[in-house]
């Protein structure tokens, strides 16, 4: 790893206003509702009926479950409590489609690892359910007076952000299902045309930006949601943290860099690993990232668009927290804390005022090498491409209070045994991400688009 | 249990010729091929595409796997070795569709419990595969000269019997998949019309035949396949066994009789059970047959045609060997040995010359109460309705030699830790069963149509 | 394998009287009681206190559990029901020391795989318990009148045979515990003196007898216990079986012969194996017998007396049924049925009138090569040395009725998923074995002294 | 829960010097070495030989393993590298006694959950090993020149603190082993005399102090080891944290208070629990603290000294993080962060200059009710009695650098999936604890003396 130059940032004691638009109008939100709901279905267009059914591992869910569950969310948290006379589509769905809310409805939800054993409802029935819910949501939103609108808007926005989370999961879950199939199906078959039109054909067109270190001063910073625009409850309250001076790498770690770690015996030497990580390496026989496999001397990747050679300049992804942490130790660095990451993100946003990154809308569906200057030329890939593991366990912010009612289960009850990830990925909708966004997964999870940005203390 | 009268049989030292037709003509067999292959697909007609995909437990397989595997059998054991220039449909199928033949092909087959994780090949592709194999099988059979015909006929018949076994599995596997779905789908929805036209509507039209005991003399008997007509290798050689005098119950044990066992604490008292059986009761929390559940005071059944109250006069089915054995002990009786059963079956066939019973062609898809006299009035339900657990572990007959090559794996390598069942069921094709037929399952298996016929020593 | 000559036996339709002494006198039995009880304790003399405590795998039990359980057996089945005023030593022992009798006492016994987690009772307390029970047993036996004696004698004999079974288990269980200890302790340390005094020092003094085949005619034979002398309930009733002509190998399979199987890829080729056996090979990564390991080109054995090189002429032992069966298939032979074995044993006993073999009293504690002519020169090692796996699943004999009461659980409830072994081993007390004795273990069990005698059909 | 009054503390920006004595003289340390080593053996005096052997659950270790491992630590990290000509006691011990150091010695240590399967080395051999190591350590320490002394002292101190950790584990592990034994053995049998001499006999002599809240101002505080006296690497570096104003409860939660939680359905209502916690409740069927069981209406406890009724005023202990967290949520409070706890502890130490608390030296071996005023009258039980779960995941302090070499594995590699506990317990040696001490366990662990102190934000 080469450090070419260093740039220094000072703490932005003045917090920039949220980059998101101010409270949207009813018309905007209704349109946004239609867009988000339509997008979910468009993401499923490449699937055969059979593809909607399976659950290729306990953490994943069938695509038809995602389609149905996101509708159940609107039905359960809006239509049933707030729309007089609403008739539920099918009373049995409450049991089948509840993900983990134990303080409502029929109690213990249908057993999660068994979602893929259900052939019914059929895909056609699920789409009918979506139409049924959409019709009633739209009719109801249309009729809302202004006062009701103000009180209901956060709930509608929550439902849409919830659905966007599941959009990403639809992609990562089908990627896993395809990856275990010896017939090597892909989500969106790559054509020579599409590849060449993008200048792709597995050679990178422009040189990878060299890795440099961006310096941030220590001090007392504010992090967390400041109340402007939508945020999940776990991003609040806005609060102060004291941070020592630190540096962040200018871009994500690449396949080529990660390969050096592998070839240096990274997966064979326990000294790089957390104890639980080393146990995971041995138990799962990890020898490289998920979806990466070696044929002869060549590393290949299962991607959503092709089974193809790994590009050395692409960001490494589909690695666990344990692997990210071990790589960082090998590289004489560490992962950032979530506070450090958010300080950096706020700094970038203060400078460029808008979130730039490679998101799902580009339909690349894989991280792209940091080879152009379209983002900041200083701190690349902070948003999009790959979720960045931080070294911060997922814990409540000081003074955190979960939402009331069953929706309080959305985030708070998972604040244990997970690590925070930041920044979104190539499978995240652009309108879903923000600087304060706290994603979280168990440290052994690998099926999300998860990558590494290095940090170091000074 | 009441014993009304006893009839005595003497040992038929002269073995009746096989009840099956003599070696069929090429035309007959080609027509039979077409019938069997068509029947498999007809059995799948009620399924939605989603229903073809799942594997609701490790012992079951997805319907589309059954459809494909039976074609792979013809492709692998006939088309590839015997048809010059045959091009395999898809080389990757060999790995995916091999059930358990480890001495051929690519070696270790695709992991059985993970068959339900594969969305591809799609159902449409599987049907295309069947057409491809059928076209080539029919063209090849059409061209066979007489000498080739004689040598190939046993292999073709084996392929068809193999497919008939999978027809039964398609039904039992989809029954399991439907049974675990809270939406309670059924394979063939029952209509009021269909029910009333059969005089069904959950009341039995004619009185149940009382249980009586049929006596058989002890002595030296021949059992096993005598060489006429088709048989699996495990039915040979024909050999002598010495049998003590015994009695067989005149019909299967009914739901009503089994319910008395349950209500007498059958599932709570270890003294009725084999040690492994009692362990299974506790581990799986068995409280009654598979697919039976109690609501209030009423026992209900998941059947392929309805979720409906259990009829007291129907044969009990979907019970394990352990339960059959425990019931028999509770009833001061025992299960028959397979030799005893075969002696009885040969006796019946000597008298009536043809196999009578309720098979899959009736489309009842559930055992029927022994309430009519259409079979023998002496030993009812010996064939069809429900497979009868015997107390005989599945072992080789003296002098048994498995078929040569990979087909030697068909039966022989399973002769361990299983018990023999006899007589076929309501899901068995009528042309598939014979008096010497040895079915076998692990003693804890319950998802087949398995029932109980009592026996006792004298 | 070389076949040197063949001797033929005719069926001994006249069954020889049991080789055991006629009903013993009270004095004999009391002396036998004292001997058996003392022997158990003598077998434990080489153990350190720590050795009494552990349970190195679920199938094994701690030595102190064996010592206590065998006393509990006398207490529970004799002292408590038959000795007025008997005060139990410790009421809590009933729960701790019950092995598997679920129809008596406090119900579900203490969880078997957790026996090694109990530090108390201490070894000293267990020996005190033994003394307590012995004192009361001896006092009571001394006082019995003749009528009582006749009715109680079978129960006392059962208790002693039960204890002898546990004597063998004490040895096999401690062998396992020592084998997993990296410090390689041995039960009875071998001294140079002891080795040289026996002419041992790991070279065999006399040539191995070549393997020949002994022929037996087919026909109707009686097998099972004929009522003379003690037998377990599972050896009854005496009954007829029809047997085809067969041959038995003249001696057990040796390490040298088994090594050829290994070197011929026996553990790598599924075609030799039952399906469940092949699964076991892969799951447990078996590459040779239990306690055998390879260093360089030399095979070594953990034995009770030393960790030492394997002798090529010794019988192979500590192999599962699966391995015995696979070896036999590789050798173009098979295992015998238990009827065939018993026919052979009765023939031998008819000729020589007494059971000869290498038993525990010799204190060799390992099978010995068939290199002398001290037994019959025709059918060597039939008794002693190593238990011989038969191909017979452990099933009830026709008309089998278990003992009444809890003792009916002794054998009958295990007649499922096990295979019969015959003939005793180097760890069996000589007075414990007989021609009708049916030992049984699960087909994957390897920690007993289990070996192979080949058979073949003619 | 009643809040009687509130006292306020201001942040002690001036950090008090460590309360521990300044660097000890060689004489002091040699004496301390002898004391600590002797204490370990004295703690084992009540054990029978059998008690030293078992491992009653995977997290525990046999007492003889603890005795040996602590000696191996001195042998491996001091005698072997620093004492010329030192001959290891037994080369095989390196494999058996290495706990988890993978970067030294023979590599992968002996499998942890199988420590209880080893009967050898015997207890006597282990004590001989301890003498061997002690003799050589004392001889070597005696000879050290002053320069060597300064460089070696930290390592000797580390070895002694390591041994003190294992002293606590010896007690908690034997407590578990005794608790699962139906004979209910105890470590130190309580006598009526001993009980009455302490005024114990299960009624508390003085009233429980009511729970009040102690207030601490928010601000920027220093926490972590300041370099004076011994500390583990994980307590460094000393660093600043920003803390919001908070309150700590004046004492630990009692059995009586916890019982209200239980009776209010605490273990039946998922809304109080973290998701992983609720899963643990259901999986393990938790209904109360470990070692607590209900007979009729009375709660009983397994303690090290007796199986006796639970005292309502005693601190609740043997609860998991999940239970502590759920209790706090039920009580409308939360657990403290480790920074908050340390701030409070430093405040207390600033006031009273010495660590007061109920530690192992008192031989009470169970937490005692906060019924006297011998500590501060403001913040009781902060040290001793029961380890206090904090809500802080165990993570590296900013700038943390593990020790070099294998000793770097001591703490750092466990910084994942664990939570920090503070303050020591009734089983901790008094000289082992300090305000910066970070203990850590997995959130489901219950076999340590773990309790609850509530906190709340203001």
Task: Express each pLDDT in A23-58 by its tens digit.
Answer: 578 899 999 999 999 999 999 999 999 999 999 999
CB pair distance less than 8 Å for B395 and C396: no
- Paired tokens of B231: 């048989």
Query: D126-172, pLDDT tens digit by residue?
Result: 999 999 999 999 999 999 999 999 999 999 999 999 999 999 999 99
Least confident piece of the model among B45-49, C394-398, D224-228, D394-398: D224-228
**Looking at the predicted structure, is the pLDDT value of residue C316 above 70?**
yes
| Cβ–Cβ pairs < 8 A, chains B and C | 74
Please judge whether D278 and A102 are an interchain contact, meaning their C-beta atoms are less than 8 angstroms apart: yes
Across the range C218-226, mean pLDDT stands at 97
A440 beta partners: A420
Mean per-residue pLDDT, C52-81: 97
Looking up tokens 């003599």 gives B22
How confident is the model at residue B346, as a pLDDT? 94
User: Has residue D191 got a pLDDT over 50?
Assistant: no
Q: Which residues pair with A439 in a beta bridge?
A: A421
**SS3 of residue B107 by DSSP:** coil
Q: What angle do CA C454, C455, C457 make, to 5 degrees?
A: 155
- Nearest to D376, CA basis, from D250, D247, D190: D250
D229 and D356 assigned to the same domain: yes
Q: Which residue has the higher pLDDT, B351 or D340?
A: D340
Q: Is residue A340 part of a domain?
A: yes
| Residue with the larger pLDDT of the pair D255 and C13 | D255
> Which pLDDT tens digit goes with each residue over A110-157?
999 999 999 999 999 999 999 999 999 999 999 999 999 999 999 999
Nearest to B347 by CA among B223, B232, B226: B223
Do B342 and B399 belong together in one domain?
Answer: yes
Q: Cβ of B414 and C275 within 8 Å?
A: yes
Residue B321: is it exposed, middle or buried by C-beta count within 10 angstroms (0-12/13-18/19+)? buried
- State residue A239's pLDDT score: 97
- Say which residue, D28 or D10, is predicted with more confidence: D28
Say if A147 falls within a structural domain: yes
Distance set, CA C124 to CA C52, C88, C120, D238 (Å): 11, 18, 10, 55
Domain boundary at C179, C210, C230, which? C179
The overall average pLDDT reported for chain D is 90
Q: What's the confidence (pLDDT) of residue A128?
A: 98
DSSP string covering C207-257: PPPPP-EEEE--EEEEES--SSS---GGG-S-EEEEE--EEEESSPPBHHH
Give partners of C (≥3 CB pairs < 8 A).
Answer: B, D
Q: Please check the confidence at residue D20 and state whether its pLDDT lies above 80.
A: no
Chain C positions touching B243 (Cβ under 8 A) are 398
- Looking at the complex, report in whole angstroms how far the Cα of residue D82 sits from the nearest Cα belonging to chain C: 27
How many CA within 13 A on the CB side of residue A44? 25
CB A97 within 8 A of CB A88: no
Strand pairing report for C454-457 and C419-422: unpaired
Chains B and D touch (3+ CB pairs under 8 A): no
Cα–Cα distance measured from residue D304 to residue D294, given in angstroms and rounded to the nearest whole number = 18
pLDDT value at C398 more than 80: yes
**D56 to chain C, closest Cα gap in Å:** 5
**Cβ neighbours around D285 below 10 Å, total:** 8
Q: What pLDDT is stored for residue B201 in this prediction?
A: 52
Pairing mode, strands D450-451 and D387-393 = parallel
> Between C90, C92, C181, which is nearest D119 by CB?
C181
Q: Say what the pLDDT of residue C18 is.
A: 38
pLDDT attached to residue A17: 36
Asked if C270's CB is within 8 angstroms of B103's CB, the reply is yes
Any domain includes C35: no
Residue among C243, C321, C393 minimizing CB distance to B393: C393
Least confident of A290-304, B117-131, C188-202, D374-388: C188-202
| A208 touching chain B per CB within 8 A | no
Report the pLDDT averaged over residues D89-115. 87
Asked if C244 and B398 come within 8 Å (Cβ–Cβ), the reply is yes
Q: How confident is the model at residue C221 (pLDDT cuts 50, 70, 90)?
A: very high
Backbone φ and ψ for A78, nearest 5 degrees, come out as -125, -60
With cut-offs at 50, 70 and 90, classify the pLDDT of residue A350.
confident
Residue-wise pLDDT tens digits, C407-431: 888 899 999 999 999 999 999 999 9
Contacts of D234 (CB under 8 A, 6+ apart): D396, D397, D400, D411, D412, D415, D438
Out of B55, B95, B119, the one facing A177 most closely (by C-beta) is: B119
Indicate the residue among A179, A209, A240 that finishes a domain: A179
| Confidence class for position A195, pLDDT limits 50, 70, 90 | low
Q: Are strands D219-223 and C387-393 parallel, antiparallel or unpaired?
A: unpaired
What is the C-alpha to C-alpha distance for residues B72 and B70, in angstroms, rounded to an integer? 5
Peptide linkage before A191 cis (omega within 30 of 0): no
Domain edge (last residue) among A147, A179, A211: A179
pLDDT value at residue C185: 96
Same domain, D174 and D195: no
The whole-number average pLDDT for the span A90-110 is 85
Are C166 and C201 contained in the same domain? no
Q: Which CATH number does the domain housing residue C255 bear?
A: 3.90.1580.10
**Cβ distance B446 to B322 under 8 Å?**
no
Q: What is the pLDDT of residue D16?
A: 36
Closest residue in chain A to residue D400, using alpha carbons only: A457
Q: Are residues D305 and D409 in the same domain?
A: yes
Same domain, B261 and B391: yes
Q: Counting runs of H as helices and runs of E as strands, what totals does chain D give?
A: 11, 14
**Chain B residues closer than 8 Å to A182 by CB:** 92, 95-96, 110
Same domain, C88 and C210: no
> Which one is predicted more confidently, C294 or D205?
C294
Minimal CA separation from C306 to chain D, in Å: 16
Based on the fold, state whether residues C175 and C199 are members of the same structural domain. Answer: no
Give residue A63's pLDDT band: very low, low, confident or very high (50, 70, 90): very high
Q: Could you tell me if A70 and A164 lie in one domain? A: yes
Minimum distance, in Å, between the CA of residue D75 and any CA atom of chain A:
22
Q: Are residues C148 and C254 in the same domain?
A: no
- Cβ contact (<8 Å) for D181 and C54? no
Pick among B44, B46, B47, B50 to test the A interface (most A CBs inside 10 A): B50
Can you give the pLDDT at residue D403?
A: 86
Give me the phi and psi of C101, to 5 degrees please: -85, 105
CA nearest to D56 within chain C = C117
- Residue B352, in any domain of the structure: yes
pLDDT of residue D101: 87
Task: State which H helix or E strand residue C420 sits in.
Answer: strand C419-422
Query: What is the pLDDT at residue A197?
Result: 52
- Give the residue from B125, B159, B133 showing the smallest Cα distance to B52: B125
- Which chain C residues contact residue B413 at CB under 8 A? 273-275, 278
pLDDT of residue A3: 41
Residue linked to tokens 């089998």: C400
Same-domain pairing of D240 and D128: no
Residue B413 contacts C where some CB pair is shorter than 8 Å? yes
Closest listed residue to residue B69, CA positions, set B159, B191, B1, B153:
B159
Q: Are A242 and D244 in contact (CB < 8 Å)?
A: no
* Banded model confidence at residue C375, pLDDT cuts 50, 70, 90: low
Supply the pLDDT for residue A15: 34
With an 8 Å Cβ cutoff, are D242 and A241 in contact? Answer: yes
Q: Domain containing C161: what range?
A: 47-179
pLDDT higher at B48 or A378: B48
Put simply, whether C218 touches B (Cβ < 8 Å) is: no
Tell me the mean pLDDT per 10 residues along chain B, length 458: 44 37 76 97 98 97 98 97 96 91 77 94 98 98 94 96 98 98 88 49 68 96 94 96 97 98 97 96 98 96 96 97 98 98 93 88 94 68 97 97 87 95 98 97 98 97
Please tell me the predicted confidence (pLDDT) of residue B74. 98
| Number of domains observed in the structure of chain C | 2
Residue B225 DSSP SS3: coil
- Chain A residues whose CB is inside 8 A of the B121 CB are 183
Note the pLDDT tens digit of each residue in A282-319: 999 999 999 999 999 999 999 999 999 999 999 999 99
pLDDT digits 0-9 by tens, D447-458: 999 999 999 999
Q: What is the pLDDT of residue C204?
A: 46
What pLDDT, on the 0 to 100 scale, is given for residue D189?
66
Q: Is the pLDDT of residue A193 over 70?
A: no
What's the confidence (pLDDT) of residue B124? 98
Is the pLDDT assigned to residue A107 strictly greater than 90?
no
Angle at B437 between CA B431 and CA B443, to 5 degrees: 120
User: CA dihedral in degrees (A154, A160, A165, A170; nearest 10)?
Assistant: 160
Q: Taking CB atoms and an 8 Å limit, are D50 and C54 in contact across chains?
A: no
pLDDT value of position B372? 65
pTM over 0.90: yes
Considering the domain boundaries, does residue B319 fall inside one?
Answer: yes
Asked whether residue D186 is assigned to any structural domain, the reply reads: no
**Residue D154 falls within a domain, yes or no?**
yes
B179: nearest CA partner in chain A: A118
User: Do the chains contact at A392 and D395, CB–CB below 8 Å?
Assistant: yes
A219 and A306, same domain (yes or no): yes
Please indicate, yes or no, if residue C434 is contained in any of the structural domains: yes
Parallel, antiparallel or unpaired: strands A334-335 and A454-457:
antiparallel
Of D415, D419, D427, D441, residue with least CA distance to D336: D419
Model confidence at A6, in pLDDT bands (50, 70, 90)? Answer: very low
What's the pLDDT score for residue A204? 46
Share of residues in chain D with pLDDT > 70 (%): 89
D99 at the A interface (CB within 8 A)? Answer: no
| B60 in contact with chain A, both atoms CB, cutoff 8 A | no
């Amino acid at each position: 790893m080469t450090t070419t130059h260093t740039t220094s940032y000072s703490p932005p004691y003045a917090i920039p206003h949220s980059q998101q638009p101010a409270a949207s109008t009813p018309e905007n939100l209704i349109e946004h509702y239609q867009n988000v709901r339509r997008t979910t279905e468009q993401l499923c267009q490449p699937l055969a009926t059979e593809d909607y059914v399976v659950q290729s591992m306990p953490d994943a869910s069938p695509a038809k479950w995602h389609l149905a569950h996101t509708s159940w969310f609107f039905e359960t948290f809006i239509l049933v409590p707030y729309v007089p006379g609403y008739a539920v589509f099918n009373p049995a769905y409450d049991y089948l489609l509840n993900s983990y809310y134990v303080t409502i409805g029929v109690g213990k939800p249908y057993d999660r690892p068994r979602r893929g054993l259900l052939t019914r409802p059929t895909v056609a029935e699920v789409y009918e359910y979506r139409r049924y819910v959409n019709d009633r949501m739209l009719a109801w939103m249309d009729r809302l007076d202004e006062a009701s609108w103000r009180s209901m808007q956060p709930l509608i926005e929550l439902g849409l952000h919830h659905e966007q989370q599941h959009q990403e999961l639809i992609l990562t879950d089908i990627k896993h299902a395809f990856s275990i199939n010896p017939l090597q199906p892909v989500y969106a078959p790559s054509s020579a045309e599409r590849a060449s039109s993008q200048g792709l054909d597995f050679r990178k067109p422009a040189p990878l930006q060299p890795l440099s270190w961006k310096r941030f001063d220590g001090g007392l910073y504010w992090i967390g949601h400041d109340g402007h625009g939508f945020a999940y409850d776990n991003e609040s309250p806005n609060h102060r943290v004291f941070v020592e001076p630190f540096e962040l790498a200018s871009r994500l770690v690449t396949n080529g860099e990660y390969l050096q770690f592998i070839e240096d015996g990274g997966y064979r030497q326990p000294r790089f690993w957390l104890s639980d990580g080393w146990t995971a390496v041995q138990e799962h026989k990890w020898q490289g990232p998920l979806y990466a496999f070696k044929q002869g001397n060549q590393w290949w990747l299962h991607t959503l668009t092709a089974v193809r050679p790994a590009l050395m300049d692409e960001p490494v992804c589909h690695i666990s927290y344990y692997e990210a942490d071990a790589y960082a130790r090998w590289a004489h660095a560490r992962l950032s804390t979530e506070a450090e990451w958010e300080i950096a993100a706020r700094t970038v946003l203060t400078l460029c005022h808008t979130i730039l990154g490679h998101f799902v809308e580009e339909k690349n569906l894989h991280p792209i090498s940091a080879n152009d200057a379209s983002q900041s030329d200083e701190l690349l890939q902070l948003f999009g491409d790959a979720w960045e593991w931080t070294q911060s366990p997922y814990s409540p912010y000081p003074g955190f209070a979960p939402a009331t009612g069953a929706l309080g289960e959305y985030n708070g009850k998972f604040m244990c045994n997970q690590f925070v990830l930041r920044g979104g990925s190539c499978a995240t909708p652009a309108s879903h991400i923000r600087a304060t966004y706290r994603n979280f997964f168990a440290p052994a999870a690998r099926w999300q688009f998860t990558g590494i940005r290095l940090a170091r203390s000074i």
